[in-house]
Amino acid sequence: MHIPDGYLSPSTCATMYVASAGFWWQALRRTRRQMLGRALPRLALMAAFCFVVMLFNLPLPGGTTGHALGVGIAAIVLGPWGGMMAVSLALAIQALFFGDGGITTLGANCFNMAIAGSITAWGLYQLIGMGSTANSKRRLVAAALAGYGSINLAALLAAIELGIQPMLFHDASGAPLYAPYPLHVAIPAMMAGHLTIAGVAEALMTAGLFGYLRRNEPGLVGLAKDATPRTPRSLWGGLALLMLLAPLGILAGGAAWGEWAPKDFADQAARAQIAAASGNVAAPTVAPIGLARLAGVWTAPLPEYAPRFVKSAGFGYLLSAIFGVGIILGVVWLVQLIAARKGEDAEKGAAKRIEPEHFETDPKQERGR
């Protein structure tokens, strides 16, 4: 996933440097205040740790091995800004000193792995682990998914950056000037290995390290033993903002690729859009039989995010967002409730098993006294 020099066009590299610079500036601004304290050596050593952990070749179920990036655990321990700083430093040293990843592509590599990776890891960990107790299994699952999600998003971004090169940069004869594979080759090629091997390695490593820290150094992962779980207010604020921004979705004209309704195949304007988005390959004039048959199997209660009783499209989008978020929160709350009950049962069972051994006196020891 470390894109070397020469694979991305200079304009892509410049764009990615600019995109990363905004995040670096913000991360530095936020961590600069803490530089007065322990943050300076802690960030540097975490970066060194990320570098070393990338060398850990983790044996995976199925007999293969994979190595982790460490971005998941860095984001959980240092937060998204500290995590992106630490991983960016590790990537910079890899590029400058070891030639792993290019200098011109450093902005892109940092954006994919350090920036998007840290934000994803931290966001997933907070969202999934939100409100759970320090020792709950859900937090462990949250850490694993944080690792899995972050590395896969990073891989997807890298694949997109590589995959757009032949579309945008080719010579007069059509020969690609940089990375030669289009999106439909780059994305499956990149994601196959990350969804299966590298993603699993990152998930196992993040969950394993999180479990270790939770047991031995709970303060490092923000889980001081007496801490009561709390819901980060900023996340709720972010969620509310996203819901308010939902009506922006109506600005995107046309149907998403591959989400056409059977009637679109007969509509002249929709057919033109499909052809334009499919490499000028004309769509059939009649919807394929299977598609037409299965399209009506389920009628959604809120088709196209527009409840029938609402006239305004924007308000319909907003209502749909509130409805969708409500359902998700309801499901999460139910899962949490079931998990909490199971946890209580397990704790009671464990207490029963431990109790007799705990208080029994060893007869040999008694005799020895």
Partner 1 sequence: MSAHPVASTLRGFSQALARTLVSEDAAHSGGVLQGVDPRAKLVGMLALVVASALAHRVPTLIALLAVGVGLAVASRVNVWSLARRVWLVAFAFTFMIAAPAMFLTPGIALWQWGGVVMTANGVHTAVLLVLRVEAAVTLSTLLVLTTPWMWLLKALRTLGVPVEVIALLAMTHRYLVLLAETANQMFESRQSRVVGKLKGAEQRHMMINTGGVLLSKTMAMGDEVYMAMLARGFRGEVRLLTEFRMKTRDWVAVAALLAVAAGAVVAGR
List contacts with partner 1 (CB under 8 A): 4-10, 13, 28, 32, 35-38, 40-49, 51-53, 55-61, 63, 65, 73, 77, 85, 89-90, 92-93, 96-97, 99, 102-104, 171, 173-181, 185, 204-205, 208-209, 211-213, 216-217, 220
Question: In this complex, which beta carbon is closest to partner 1, that of residue 36 or of residue 289?
Answer: 36
Nearest approach in angstroms of CB 152 to partner 1 is 20
Closer residue to partner 1 (CB): 103 or 338: 103
Minimum CB–partner distance for residue 57 and partner 1 (Å): 5
- Least distance in angstroms from the C-beta of 21 to partner 1: 10
Supply the minimum distance, in Å, between the C-beta of residue 297 and partner 1: 38
Q: Count Cβ neighbours within 10 Å for each residue of 223-245 and write b for 16 or more, e otherwise.
A: beeeeeeeeeeeeeeeeeeebee
In degrees and rounded to multiples of 5, residue 66 shows phi and psi of -155, 160
Residue number, 99 or 330, with CB nearest to partner 1: 99
In the chain, the N- to C-terminal Cα span, in Å, equals 63
Closer residue to partner 1 in complex, CB, 67/271: 67
Distance of alpha carbon 158 from alpha carbon 191, whole angstroms: 10
Q: How far is the CB of 242 from partner 1 (least distance, A)?
A: 32
- Considering the complex, what minimum distance in angstroms separates the CB of residue 56 from partner 1? 6
- Say which DSSP state 217 is in: -
- Non-local (6+) Cβ contacts of 118 within 8 A are 71, 74, 75, 80, 81, 83, 84, 87, 150
Q: How far is residue 266's CA from residue 82's CA, in Å, rounded to a whole number?
A: 53
Query: Cβ neighbours of residue 232 under 8 Å, at least 6 residues apart?
Result: 126, 130
Q: Residue 13 and residue 6: Cα distance in Å, rounded?
A: 10
As a whole number of angstroms, the distance between CA 320 and CA 315 comes to 9
Query: Nearest-CA neighbor of 119 among 162, 76, 68?
Result: 76
* Minimum distance from residue 91 beta carbon to partner 1 (Å): 11
Q: Which is nearer to partner 1, 138 or 214 (CB)?
A: 214
> Which residues contact residue 296 at a Cβ distance below 8 angstroms, ignoring those fewer than 6 apart?
none
Min dist CB 16 to partner 1, Å, is 13
Report the C-alpha gap between 53 and 212 in whole angstroms: 15
Nearer to partner 1, 120 or 206 (CB): 206
Comparing CB distances to partner 1, the nearer of 216 and 234 is 216
Residues present in the chain in total: 369
- Dihedral sign for Cα 214, 217, 221, 222, please: positive
Among residues 174 and 356, whose Cβ is nearest to partner 1?
174
